[in-house]
Amino acid sequence: MKKILITGGAGFIGSNAAEFFCKKKWKVIIVDNLSRTGASINLKRIKKKISKFYSTDIKNFKKINLVILKNKPDVILHAAGQVAVTKSIEDPINDFNDNLLGTLNILEAIRQNKIKTKLIYTSTNKVYGKLENIKLKKTGKRYSFLKEKKGVNENFNIDFHSPYGCSKGSADQYVNDYSRIYNLNTYVLRQSCIYGINQFGVEDQGWVAWFIIASILKKKIKIYGDGKQVRDILFIDDLNNLYFKIANSKHIMKNNIYNVGGGSKNTLSLLELIDLLKTYNIKTNLTFKKWRDGDQKIFVSDNSKIISKFNWKPKITPKNGVEKLIGWVIKNKKIIKKIFDNK
């Protein structure tokens, strides 16, 4: 039986991946310090399905080294870290330690112990910064690119533009360079907006889930900017299918850096999501604030490279994905309300 170790395994992406790989009959080991909103609830949901759980912080080299050495996983899905631009601006040292030091600890554990594993690193589209040199147009309720019809590809310059972008971008470069220098088998996925069930989205991270949760719980939604910001959104089930394809691939190549998102066919602006919620009779209470540092007016992933390498593409449309997420929030409204009332 193949083994996968998932850091951040009680988070939104990690816990969904854990369930997915359990269904595929993999042995699943998760590592999480349970610091994220909803992590304890996610752990309770998956604990009986997984093989092992370690309440370990990846910033502690001795502990994460021991976990990796003891389990020798076939695949490591590294999904742990600090996830919000706003929090990185408030506390850049913690952001650095979580994202860069934690990633370096995992790389060193693999290198020092000569573990034959495949490392999948969940990076971010924020490594491209504000994309200030790309010309945009504003039509209706959204921004769009003037020329880049497919979106942003991997050849675009990285321009971090926030402590979060710096820490994630530096980690993504370390992962790629450890592949080149030490022959580690690594994959860097610069992920766009991921959304789906079991996502306890908050204002500064997980905006699709947050808009739905806040609307159903009758909380105010703050929109920073004009609301015409556009993101390509990728449903968690589609992302898990990609993880599985990579985990099972025979590819051992250099420069395994890929943009991963919903792509040009799966985009929403903030205002368009509000309109979509209205079709389900979900009302929103909006207030508008000034733009925040590091905000992108638009980001759309060009998935061409990942599609060609792994014969993968998103299947779940924004409408279908949002509908699934609404259903999950309504079904779990009492639990979600309790979490957010205590925040």
Residues with a known catalytic role: 164
**Across the strands, what pairs with 286?**
221
b/e 291-307 (16+ beta carbons within 10 angstroms → b): eeebebbbbbbbbebbb
User: Measuring CA to CA, which residue among 16, 8, 7 is closest to residue 75?
Assistant: 7
CA angle 223, 225, 226 (to 5 degrees): 90
Q: What is the DSSP annotation of 7-71?
A: ETTTSHHHHHHHHHHHHTT-EEEEE----STTHHHHHHHHTTTSSEEE---TT-HHHHHHHHHHH
| Cα Dmax for the chain | 56
CA atoms within 13 A on the CB side of 214: 21
Residue 287's SS3 state is strand
Residue 168's SS3 state is helix
Rounded-to-integer distance, Cα 132 and Cα 305, Å: 23
Rounded-to-integer distance, Cα 222 and Cα 290, Å: 10
